[in-house]
Chain A
């Protein structure tokens, strides 16, 4: 216990709180982008993860991800089930903070990762099926992949670099999002009706909260307060800023106007791309990484229309493309001058890191897509993934949660209980085409 550093411990606990705050930030980011009839349902998808994911994590998820290796680097064993043995003494993962602090920091990652996926099936998934999917996904996809990269598994052994989760969190969730968008199908009216965001100030506030929380995500991944966390903090801010710039620059060139949704999306794209690189690259590299992320992710949002799938809130374009790009750019820009425990990238004469990064991204894409696809197919067959057409038309807020997000007019505000006189339901009226009064006159 004498190894415990109070500064490091305080830092990691605060970073855990910052990462926690990203999930409600994501709720607002997504909530503003859907139609007003689905705002609560969409916010709920992220918000409830704070409860659902942490239970899985505490009971066995943490053990699967970070517990002692079980099958040659594929998954952790169940020694730490129910957090058995995860206490106040430090662990091998971070020798200056209590093991339980490391656990909760990682737990916040396990919360936001499934929440990221929800943008793909927004406005049409059944709440019960969504909860079942999430529990299965954390168990069978997130925990093993976290083990591969961070828990002493085979990708980490290979020497792939993923500082804060570009592959584990972003590529992983985006690939699951793609599988989900394909299986659940397009929203009713997709490509025909306007489905524009209903509250952009909410989305921008959400993006700003994500940005704020991301300092905990990336700087905290140094697992100690010091030089490395400071570098990670600085490059995180730089890449987010240049991500916003890259996106609106691309927009300006392609459509003539820089948009606020573009700036918010670009900032998130920059954050995603710097995530794997944060503790391995310097400030100038961060400028380039952010700019490229903003531009590439902007170009990628058009893919869903070309390839004809409805990834409603562009999880694939922002987190998938941004995460994969960030992982590859880490292979190019990583430097041992920043982090002696890291590796040199392509521009420092080590081309092999690019190949290693490619293997890490490729394996994550393949595993996450296949297993997510199977989980979703099974849930679809057993309990159905999608709400009924009528529920979708009326919106998830009213259909699934019996609430409305906005009560801006006093008209029809409702009466408490069932005290209002019930109007007897008349038989269905006949819609036979009668001659209209207008035509009578001719």
Chain B
């Protein structure tokens, strides 16, 4: 099993979700996060005082998938989240030990 984490542009979430549904992903968790990377932040101005905001809003999604499905899931995220402009985000892949469905006690890939 793999845990796939992706940090994407917030407005791309719907597209990514639809692309993931198409490759068979049945569930994901999304967070609103802030972070900085190569993308520059922006400036906000309040009564003449300028504020540099380096932390930009992003959405982070987490998906647990079977090993064989992982490459397709990664490709789906790359294609759907990409705009070609700086700040498109990153994908991280981790090995995962186990998964448990709390209601039934099922484990492993049955639980995802």
Residues of A within 8 A of B (CB): 189, 192-194, 390, 393, 398, 402-404, 409, 411-420, 423, 425-426, 428-429, 431, 433, 436-439, 441-442
Contacts and interface: CB of A to CB of B under 8 A. Distances in A.
B57 to A, nearest CB: 8
B40 A417 contact: no
Interface residues of B, number: 36
Interface of B: 2, 4, 11, 14, 34, 36, 38, 40-46, 49-56, 67-68, 70-71, 74-75, 78, 82, 84-86, 88, 91, 93
22 contacts: A192-B14, A390-B85, A398-B42, A398-B44, A402-B42, A402-B44, A402-B45, A403-B44, A403-B45, A412-B34, A412-B55, A416-B49, A416-B50, A417-B49, A423-B36, A425-B38, A431-B84, A433-B78, A436-B70, A436-B74, A437-B93, A438-B71
Contacts of A192: 14
A420 B54 CA distance: 8
A423 to B, nearest CB: 7
B86 A438 contact: no
Given A193-B14, A398-B44, A417-B50, A439 B71 contact: yes
Given A193-B14, A438-B93, A412 B56 contact: yes
Contacts of B82: 431
B33 to A, nearest CB: 9
B59 to A, nearest CB: 13
B98 to A, nearest CB: 18
Contacts of A194: 14
B71 to A, nearest CB: 4
B44 A414 contact: yes
Most chain B CB atoms below 10 A, which of A412, A416, A426, A442:
A412
Contacts of B2: 438
Contacts of B11: 189, 193, 393
Nearest to A392: B11
Contact of A426 (B34, B38, B49, B74): B38
Contacts of B42: 398, 402
Given A398-B42, A428-B86, A414 B52 contact: yes
